[in-house]
Amino acid sequence: MTNSDKSKPKARALREATARSALSTIVDSDRSDIERALALLDEHLNLSLTPGEGAAEVVAEQLRDAILDLAVRGRLVSQDPNDEPASVLRERITELRKRKRLPEVDAEELGYPLPDAWVTSRLPSLGEWAGGTGFPKSFQGSAEGDYLFCKVADMNLDGNERCIMETENRVDVDAVTQMRALVHLPGTVVFPKIGGAVATNKRRVLVKPTIIDNNCLGIIPSDGILTDWLFILLSSIDMSELANEGPVPALSQKTLETVVIGLPPTEEQVRIVERVDKLTLLCDELEQRLLAERDLAADLSDSAVRSLVAQAA
């Protein structure tokens, strides 16, 4: 292993710590102005990060990870004593779904403390599983039909970066009946469950009645669970760590049902979503600024080289 290889984990740890420190400072000081927040981030990041190829993307990625981490720990927004406690929400979901009560979760399983109004729970408490449907080739290839049919590849289409707006295949009512397909309603959050795509940690929100293929899985949020908050929560989980260790990575519902999460009150979910959206915009602004600075530096360097060549000619 070269000295460069040895330094990579340390550099990554430094980036993570720096991103977390910068973001925490913004959260603690409640800065909502983009320009002031960018200036504060520049102040932190310039002290610890060396510009270079890919640096802008890395900084933005680390900040986005830090945002999600703070959000799911209950450290992103202030607590409101008037919020209905999440324990009441969980009890209501259990009663409405008439489901078997889940075993109590030891708070220590989560690994970090939660605000008083939050409650520890497991993924199944958030909603129902959205299963996939096999997609015979005889039904594939049509761009017409009442329902979208989402395959993992459709998550990569332009315009589908967050929500599944369109798919390469559609099916009609007759095909749905023949396939005995499960049609999932808008608000369902889906993700890959088999193959290398598991490690991409893609999450997508359905915004139209959609069928997902059997390489995908999803969660249909219960009343009181916001789709956008569920998207944030699932995005914070590294699914590759939960996949089996066989030649083909795969997620099982049995494994996912053991995942311990922190559940906030519905009202706080709203505040978390709003704050994450603002901070994500901040990350986008920062990434574009860093990319522009990198491109400018590259242009200046090229210009200097051409000038030296011209002088030597």
Task: Determine the pLDDT at residue 279.
Answer: 83
Largest Cα separation within the chain, whole Å, is 83
State the average pLDDT over residues 66-77: 87
Higher-pLDDT residue of 31 and 273 is: 273
Task: Determine the pLDDT at residue 3.
Answer: 44
Task: Determine the pLDDT at residue 310.
Answer: 52
Reported confidence tier of residue 294, pLDDT bands at 50, 70, 90 = low
Task: Determine the pLDDT at residue 47.
Answer: 38
**Cβ atoms of 166 and 149 closer than 8 Å:** no
State the average pLDDT over residues 107-127: 90
- CATH T-level fold of 86-260: Adenine-n6-DNA-methyltransferase TaqI; Chain A, domain 2 (3.90.220)
Q: What is the pLDDT of residues 198-212, one digit of tens each?
A: 999 999 999 999 999
d(CA 58, CA 16): 10
Domain ranges of the chain: 3-77+270-312, 86-260
Find, among 60, 73, 55, the residue nearest to 19 by Cα. 60
Q: What is the pLDDT of residues 119-172, one digit of tens each?
A: 999 998 899 999 999 999 999 999 899 999 999 999 999 999 999 999 999 999
CA angle 29, 15, 48 (to 5 degrees): 80
**Cβ atoms of 80 and 267 closer than 8 Å:** yes
